[in-house]
Structure 1
Amino acid sequence: MHKPKIFFLSTVFSNDCELEIKRSENLKNWFKRNETKDEIEKLGFSMNDLELCFLCRGYDNQQEGIHRRYYGVVTKGRAIRDKIEGIKNEEKSIYGNYLIFFDGDGQIPFESFLDILKQLSKKEINVVFACRRGNYGISNEWVNIQKFELFLLSSKYGVYLPDGQCGCWGFKTDILSRIPLIAKGFEIELDILSACLKNRILPTYIKTTIGNSEESTFEPIDHLIKLDFLIQKLEWNKEFVYPLKISQTSNTPHI
């Protein structure tokens, strides 16, 4: 019987190449731990079933290209911020049956990888998102915007979504043919959620605890772009978005 392969993708974006190296090394070292190896084997996999891929900006002297001083870690992508562009650029390399992603800035516990893999290994589960406890990991300035974006999705499809923009998610790659993705950057989580819900694929959630963030790296224009993307993806008139009554007890994804 064919054993599923796992493609782990993480962004280690920074304007500082040395910081990118440090972030990638931290991730690589976690996967090298005996404890990590044991947990992966408990789920029926081995380290040979896993490919690590880190997307980075990696500015060189011309401020382009990719920094390749990763000491054995597979590095792919271009000198761009966009997550989904990196995925599309390396689509042929994503040979795995499972794609697991999270932001590599150090806020998300590495153990979330194991939690997502455990859920994806179940036959009935296709998509998994991490759910932050409370509002931790969201800057105080933008927490209501993220809540509003989830409200729009919940209203459109009649489901309650506890989270969706944690920067930690995974899915079985065979659903890619059913969920056409059009986002180019940080709208990727909203793109995946809306595409899945439109095709009646409910996400499963895992709980995660990440550090609280008092500041945001996003500029106001970034949030406007993200919100505009979502409204267009939902095919709603941008000039008139009205609230719909939704149930928080029915059609609730498992968590």
Structure 2
Amino acid sequence: MRSLLSLLCLTLLASAATAEPSASLDGPTAGWRYSGLLDRTENPRVAYPTPPIDRGAQRNRSMIEGKLQGLEGVRQPQRLVVNGNPLPLYTDAEGRFARPYNFGAGSNSVELVSADGQSLKRVQFYEANTLKTPARVRVALGWDDPKAELDLHVITPDGQHAFWASPVMSNGGGLDVDSVDGPGPEMFTMTAPLHGTYLVYVNYWGNLSSQGYNFQAGSNQNEVITAQISLVFNENTPNEKRETFVVPLRGIGDLQLIKSFNY
């Protein structure tokens, strides 16, 4: 009898050890409903490492929330791919995450991908709210170091400069997600872009610890931070075009011009 119980325990342990990774996404099948990032409830949303701080220009963001399972001990980050924009995704100790995104009208997709490239979960939904105009220009920034703070800077043709201290522009553009809690995302969006030249920069601003921000070299996680910037034109339309740039950042204060483009 003891031998049978021992065999059963070993079988259960082996099965747990070889469990396939899985993912769940919380939200109705029709998509995520708006609930403000500044909402203070008894059950705060979980992000990495703290809930997002809202400093953006637009207020119709949705939270993409979920949980990854079977990836204990596996290297992070995983990837959150939203409308084709890949963003590094970190979780808390229980595998939970929450990330903000500003969905436009039309067809949208959310996919969770493991660090080794395995698709764990994919949801496609249609946003019928025509007041949510698709982004004609979107710049999405993510990076692979949860202890570093990178900032997105965009200069528009009329000379206005969108960045963390001045996220809202009078020309209708601005940062609609300015993440200050780890590896992004940070996003710039314009629904009615001006014609002319745009400049896109990324700045390695500082580091982040449980005690707050600091400018101490080496207090981040990776010796070289890999930033990924997606430049998307006419998102969610038949004319959508995109470019992706991967940029290394090594020292606090690094400021790199990622792209100059004409619209």
State TM-score, norm by structure 2: 0.26
Q: Quick check: which has more Rg, 1 or 2?
A: 2
**Greater percentage in helix:** 1
**Greater percentage in strand:** 2
State TM-score, norm by structure 1: 0.26
